[in-house]
Amino acid sequence: MGKITQKVFSCVQFVTIFCLSPSILRVIRESRKVAGRMRDLQEELHRAEITTKNAVMRFGENIPSILEVINANSHRFEHLPRGPIGMYMKLRDRKWTFAVEEATRRLLTSFVFHSKRDHQASERLMRANRIPGALPNAIFTKFTTPPHDVRKNEPSSDWDTILRVIEISDNVVRNVLIDMASIEATVLLHSDQDARRIMDGNGS
């Protein structure tokens, strides 16, 4: 009988101690909140990764794999390749989407390399990792070239140009778009009246 009483007393004592420890309960509640917040953050990160992957895939189904391999082997390059070019461009106003894409279409999926050697390193990595399909179009330019000064080539500030309606997050890509698509001098017209002003020589 004494042993049974002792066990019952021990259990009651535990419950009493537990109930009289609000600090422990607060810790448990806070721990649950933290765990819940961590789950929310992980879900947000997962959604962001999916969104980013979908945005990249519009330049080609194998682009995410290409970028993953290149970034994981950055030490194999003299300068990390840039690409696809379209990834570095962001429109300030979506009404120019069609015009900008038409003017730069042949460049959007291209990759930019500092040298033939970097390009060859990229090709070896693609073969070693069995990434299907050919590499996107390759463009070569010296990554050490300073950002182009385009002030002499730009039209009046009264006019929108491709360069003025997009944000470019990388100077190497900016230089390529200027060299190969003349984005600083390509005027975007709002109306037929604007076109007539250009034709009449009143738009300079």
DSSP 127-169: HHTT--SPPPPEEE--TTSPPP--TTT---TTSEEHHHHEEES
Angle between helix 116-128 and 63-72 (nearest 10): 110
Helix 22-57 with 63-72: angle, nearest 10 deg? 110
Q: Would you place residue 44 in the very low, low, confident or very high pLDDT band (cuts 50, 70, 90)?
A: low
Tell me the one-letter amino acid at 182: S
Q: Taking residues 124-152, what's their average pLDDT?
A: 92
Q: What is the pLDDT of residue 37?
A: 73
For 17-26, what is the mean pLDDT? 62
Q: Where are the alpha helices (DSSP H) in the chain?
A: 2-19, 22-57, 63-72, 97-108, 116-128, 162-165, 171-181, 192-199
Spatial contact of 203 and 155, defined as CB atoms under 8 Å apart: yes
Mean pLDDT of 99-123: 95
Report residue 167 as tokens.
Answer: 């944000």
The number of C-alpha atoms within 13 Å of 162 and in the hemisphere containing its C-beta is 22
List, for residues 172-193, the tens digit of each pLDDT value: 999 999 999 999 999 998 776 7
Q: Which of 40, 50, 180, 166 is nearest to 112 (CA)?
A: 180
* pTM score, whole prediction: 0.71
Residue 110 clears pLDDT 90, i.e. is over it: yes
> Is residue 97 predicted with pLDDT exceeding 90?
yes
Q: Which residue would you say has higher pLDDT here, 159 or 41?
A: 159
Best-predicted range by mean pLDDT (24-28, 44-48, 152-156): 152-156
Residue 174, burial from CB neighbour count under 10 angstroms (0-12, 13-18, 19+): buried
- Provide the percentage of residues in the chain whose pLDDT is more than 70: 75
Within 8 A by CB and 6+ apart from 35, the residues are: none
pLDDT reading at 169 higher than 90: yes
Cβ atoms < 10 Å from Cβ of 152: 7
Could you tell me which residue, 16 or 180, shows the higher pLDDT?
A: 180
Domain-wise residue ranges, the chain: 2-50, 58-199
Query: From the CA atom positions of the chain, what is the Rg in Å?
Result: 30
Residue 66 near residue 126 (C-beta atoms within 8 A): yes
187: β partners: 161
Q: What is the pLDDT at residue 202? A: 59
pLDDT of residue 27: 72
Mean pLDDT of 93-122: 95
Q: Is the pLDDT reported for residue 83 higher than 70?
A: yes
